Copies of this chain bind each other. A is one copy, B any other.
Amino acid sequence: MSELKIQRFDASQDDFGPALDRLLAWESVSDDRVNGIVDEVLARVRTEGDAAVVEYSNRFDRLSVSSMAELELGRERLQQALDNLPAPQRRALEEAAERVRRYHERQKGESWSYTEADGTLLGQQVTPMDRVGIYVPGGKAAYPSSVLMNAMPAQVAGVGEIIMVVPTPGGVLNELVLASAALAGVDRVFCIGGAQAVAALAYGTETVPRVDKIVGPGNIFVATAKKAVFGLVGIDMIAGPSEILVVCDGKTDPDWVAMDLFSQAEHDEDAQSILISPDADYLDRVEQSMLRLLPTMERREIIEISLRNRAALIKVADLDQAAEVANRVAPEHLELSVEDPQAMLAQIRHAGAIFMGRYTAESLGDYCAGPNHVLPTSGTARFSSPLGVYDFQKRSSLIQFSADGASELGEVASILARGEGLTAHARSAEYRIKKG
């Protein structure tokens, strides 16, 4: 334990900006080897369909199936998994699902339109996607909560069909994952993963229907494949390692904050946990808590590597400076463990999710508060949002001109079109201008 040393910074030091940049630096690198493998998998699934998916699944997931049919699970199998759960787990999962649904209902976009004085109608029609694919990682990162968080916004949006893919290395099914799929309205499950699953969803095969959008986290092969098919289908953000930034005024129990930092660090070795406080003594106290609690943690090896490589304790002058640093980090999870979090909120411009007050443990948000736990990582909260119902709806502009409106605006369109040298555009508008 003696070797655990967490990096310290003071936001008033001259080189704090560059030091912070180095601390945050993260780039997921798809090297040539990964790109080569993914390109081959995509090309073969595209041309050979099921046969290629079966072959890759047998090879990468150590299976021995002879057809895609053996890799499909229907609604009944999912319901069976739900029915067989121990009662406390089932109740917890159902309560989480209910809260997630209730929150996401508020995100549903509605069609709108307005009519101008001359009878011209303008608006936007909002519709759900026809069919989407949810990627769920297998093995150690198979999280039932992620099934809920990825599939339920699609269900609330009214998506016609939700297809889930989940690799089952060695043929092992995760019953909690299947039970969550039942709760979240998943229609079909294919036990496939990796780039071959992404390819099957993007191109379609004889058995796997082509989807309109693919969401969900995955390893570097999955991320590379998603980026490659982006454009042919929609994708969500490419996720980096999970991060938390806790801002504390120095008055929250240090053990609580230490455990909040651990809860990020335990995700994986690259996860990042940062604590900011204007109280230097408090940073010491939290560090002491961490040193004392670490040996008691089941996942201490992962936590320790994560903390050593990527954690930081940052001293700031005051909470205003803390907000400034938070905006520079644009963290996935931002915990405002302060007396008056609402007062700080107005200063926060960039964060995936904001956990306000001493009682709001980040892990409540991961599971059951209601908001989505799929959040923008690596500073992408500067320009992106939590996964939501809006990711499974799309909009069509509506324009209906009255004869009068078309005649009047036709003049404007004609001038602008001719200014761009697009005379077919101009003449198309001019036909609708009333003569005389």
Q: Interface on A for B, CB 8 Å cutoff?
A: 28, 88-89, 92-93, 95-96, 103, 106-107, 112, 114, 120-122, 124-125, 127, 129-130, 143-145, 176, 212-213, 227, 230-231, 233-234, 237-238, 253, 255-256, 259-260, 262-263, 265-267, 297-299, 303, 334, 341-342, 345, 348-357, 359-372, 375-376, 380-386, 388, 390, 394-403, 405-406, 409-413, 415-417, 419-429, 431-432
B356 and A398 form a contact (CB under 8 A): yes
A122 and B103 form a contact (CB under 8 A): yes
Question: Could you say which residues of chain B place their CB within 8 Å of the CB of A382?
Answer: 129-130, 212, 394
Q: Is the interface of A mostly helix, strand, loop or mixed?
A: mixed
Least Cβ–Cβ distance between A151 and chain B, in angstroms: 16
Least Cβ–Cβ distance between A84 and chain B, in angstroms: 14
With both beta carbons as reference points, the residue of chain B lying nearest to A345 in the complex is identified as B125
- Give CA–CA (A213, B376) in the complex, Å: 14
A401 and B369 form a contact (CB under 8 A): yes
B122 and A428 form a contact (CB under 8 A): no
Other contacts beyond A297-B423, A367-B412: 10, CB < 8 A: A88-B415, A89-B416, A227-B227, A355-B399, A360-B400, A361-B410, A364-B406, A368-B412, A369-B409, A390-B390
- Give CA–CA (A209, B132) in the complex, Å: 37
A298 and B421 form a contact (CB under 8 A): yes
Instruction: Given A369-B122, A417-B367, answer yes or no on A427-B259 (Cβ-Cβ < 8 Å).
Output: yes
Question: Could you say which residues of chain B place their CB within 8 Å of the CB of A399?
Answer: 353-356, 360, 364-365, 369-371
A350 and B127 form a contact (CB under 8 A): yes
With both beta carbons as reference points, the residue of chain B lying nearest to A370 in the complex is identified as B122
A129 and B397 form a contact (CB under 8 A): no
Instruction: Given A383-B233, A431-B255, answer yes or no on A124-B107 (Cβ-Cβ < 8 Å).
Output: yes
Question: Could you say which residues of chain B place their CB within 8 Å of the CB of A413?
Answer: 361, 363-364, 366-368
- Give CA–CA (A384, B236) in the complex, Å: 12
- Give CA–CA (A353, B372) in the complex, Å: 30
Which of B176, B342, B420 touches A143 (beta carbons < 8 Å)?
B420
Question: Could you say which residues of chain B place their CB within 8 Å of the CB of A95?
Answer: 412
A424 and B130 form a contact (CB under 8 A): no
With both beta carbons as reference points, the residue of chain B lying nearest to A402 in the complex is identified as B359
Question: Could you say which residues of chain B place their CB within 8 Å of the CB of A298?
Answer: 421, 423
Instruction: Given A255-B431, A406-B360, A409-B364, answer yes or no on A354-B416 (Cβ-Cβ < 8 Å).
Output: no
Question: Could you say which residues of chain B place their CB within 8 Å of the CB of A409?
Answer: 364, 368-369
